């Protein structure tokens, strides 16, 4: 029953949790992959998508986009509706196959690897419209995501061998710790469907974190949050990055969140990457402004019109 996993990290061993974690300020600046060959983008990044193109029939959803997530970084993917963000996301997680291009996870080519194995190798995601296991408790939801890291088979479960018993207990402890970490420790026994919207979002993140990923992909995590919650979310993402040693990729609509949180932003529009850079770069980027507001929305557009 045990999956052959590339890494054999032990359950419950959260590396680097709290003790010697660097603060947000001391975090190393993300290594920008360059075309000069000084840094190999495949090995320098946790996740590297190389010239990805996705076609649905004759429709090009994503067109030749390269994208990298350095270790312990917080990067974002933004773009107007229909820009291909979620499609791109789905290629990274393996839900869609890229028509062209390669995806590397921890330096390994995972383009043809199935989603559940990618998950086991260190990639976890949340969903734009929450997809929890509604009739399972919060704790069970988190424990499902430990599936690849647990080893018990059919026989040892039926016989309840000591090893399986211990493993289950540890998994439960880890699940509770994670729920505590995202701030819903009180709800461990609640069915997921009974949680409030915000708590469901938190539970989704806890569930994704249970996979012990190297990179956490969050699809519109602040949708439906109020400003206060969004601000807290900002701190939370930094905490996850620093204490849990994860990179975070965000898809977001809320610009205030994006600009505050991200170290690097990639902008997609109609399937193509139109800009990439720090929040300040993006804020002042003319192409991005046009993509969001339309040409008429900009000063230049107005001038042309009159």
Q: Which residues of the chain form contacts with another protein (CB under 8 A)?
A: 1, 3, 93, 95, 114-117, 119-120, 124-125, 127, 130-136, 140, 143-148, 150, 152-154, 157-160, 164, 168, 171, 191, 193-197, 200, 207-208, 210-211
Q: Which two tokens stand for residue 284?
A: 């002042």
**109, 101 Cβ separation under 8 angstroms:** no
Looking at beta carbons only, is 152 or 288 nearer to another protein? 152
Q: Helix, strand, or coil here: 200?
A: helix
Burial classification of residue 136, based on how many CB atoms lie within 10 Å of its CB (0-12 exposed, 13-18 middle, 19 or more buried):
middle
Q: What is the rounded CA–CA span in Å between residue 275 and residue 201?
A: 29
For residue 69, which of 86, 89, 55 has the smallest C-alpha distance?
89
CB of 160 to another protein, least distance (A): 6
Say how far apart CA 255 and CA 283 lie, in whole Å. 10
Distance of CA 277 to the CA centre of its chain: 19
- Which CB, 54 or 123, lies closer to another protein? 123
What's the rounded Cα separation, in Å, for the pair 180 and 62? Answer: 38
Which positions ≥6 away from 13 have C-beta within 8 Å? none
Cβ proximity to another protein: between 119 and 179 the closer is 119
CA distance 93 to 87: 10
Report the residue number, 137 or 262, with the smaller CB distance to another protein: 137
Contacts of 42 by beta carbon, 8 Å cutoff, 6+ apart? 48, 50, 104, 107
Q: Closest approach of Cβ 12 to another protein, in Å? A: 15
Between 65 and 152, CB nearer to another protein: 152
Least distance from C-beta 140 to another protein, angstroms? 6
Nearer to another protein, 78 or 208 (CB): 208
User: What separation in angstroms does the CA of 217 have from each of 74, 114, 152, 198?
Assistant: 10, 17, 28, 18
Nearer to another protein, 246 or 273 (CB): 246
């Amino acid at each position: 029953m045990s999956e052959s996993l590339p890494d054999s990290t032990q359950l419950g061993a959260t590396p680097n949790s709290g003790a010697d974690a660097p603060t947000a300020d001391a975090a190393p600046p993300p290594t920008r992959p360059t075309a000069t060959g000084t840094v190999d983008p495949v090995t320098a990044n946790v996740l590297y998508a190389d010239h990805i193109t996705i076609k649905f029939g004759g429709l090009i959803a994503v067109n030749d986009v390269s994208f990298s997530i350095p270790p312990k970084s917080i990067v974002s993917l933004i773009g107007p509706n229909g820009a291909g963000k979620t499609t791109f996301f789905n290629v990274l997680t393996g839900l869609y196959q890229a028509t062209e291009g390669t995806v590397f996870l921890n330096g390994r080519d995972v383009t043809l690897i199935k989603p559940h194995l990618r998950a086991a190798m260190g990639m976890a995601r949340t969903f734009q419209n929450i997809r929890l296991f509604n009739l399972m408790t919060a704790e069970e939801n988190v424990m499902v995501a430990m599936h690849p890291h647990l080893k018990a088979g059919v026989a040892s479960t039926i016989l309840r061998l000591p090893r399986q018993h211990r493993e289950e207990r540890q998994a439960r402890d880890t699940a509770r710790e994670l729920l505590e970490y995202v701030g819903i420790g009180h709800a461990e026994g609640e069915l997921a469907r009974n949680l409030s919207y915000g708590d469901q979002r938190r539970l989704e993140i806890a569930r994704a974190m249970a996979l012990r990923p190297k990179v956490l992909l969050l699809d519109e995590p602040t949708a439906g949050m109020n400003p206060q919650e969004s601000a807290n979310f900002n701190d939370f993402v930094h905490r996850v990055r620093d204490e849990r040693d994860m990179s975070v990729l965000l898809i977001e609509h809320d610009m205030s969140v994006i600009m505050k949180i991200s170290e690097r932003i990639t902008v997609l529009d109609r399937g193509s990457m139109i800009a990439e850079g720090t929040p300040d770069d993006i804020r002042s980027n003319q192409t991005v402004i046009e993509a969001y507001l339309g040409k008429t929305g900009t000063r230049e557009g107005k001038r042309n019109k009159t």
